[in-house]
Structure 1
């Protein structure tokens, strides 16, 4: 997905053209600058049947056979009829800082993710780290 070593917001949803999923996609797209300013990559993941095409600026990936959902344990909702809708915020070390699960509040995923992003540790300045190793302060 191209987020290794970076802060990321990864959201799982059902289909590009489903009404609530479209709301979520548009909300993440609208908040894109907020995530970019915070140095956070945003990635959307849906199953192959849900990949209809979308004109949002968010990177979107297909989860073939729900392999990723299965691997991380995202449960299906509504008696197994709907793929789980979950959002993860991950720090640069790969530690999950926040998980939000709500099938029926798609826009809340963005609000919750942005709040979690504000709590992530600031990026280290490579020059400051180098000078610190030399015993110098930046």
Structure 2
């Protein structure tokens, strides 16, 4: 009886472990992504905002980066670089050009995800002597 019980428990434990792993992977994929990501770094707040309409694969999407001081006044930066990629995939790392918008402290960039799925947009900027990085997850769907 004891060896029969041991032989039955191992496969059940394996099935339960695989089930939990699958549940974890798919439940994290189903979670909603934020419309914006912000970072308060000492004196400055940096916000990266997704477009109002969801990004679509192989279509341009306009992301906005806003920089303000603690009081909310727009701040200027020395340099802004934007990169985006798909975590865990080998489709490459892409760059986007940021340009000033009509508002002080606001920059816009056009991003073209090459395939559907989850992506990360990284805004790296120099403010004074400091380098600040904000990572913003977004999803590209079908067009």
TM range (shorter): under 0.3
Would you tell me which structure has more strand in proportion to its own residues?
A: 2
**Normalised TM-score (structure 2):** 0.27
Q: Which of structures 1 and 2 has the bigger CA Rg? A: 2
**Normalised TM-score (structure 1):** 0.28
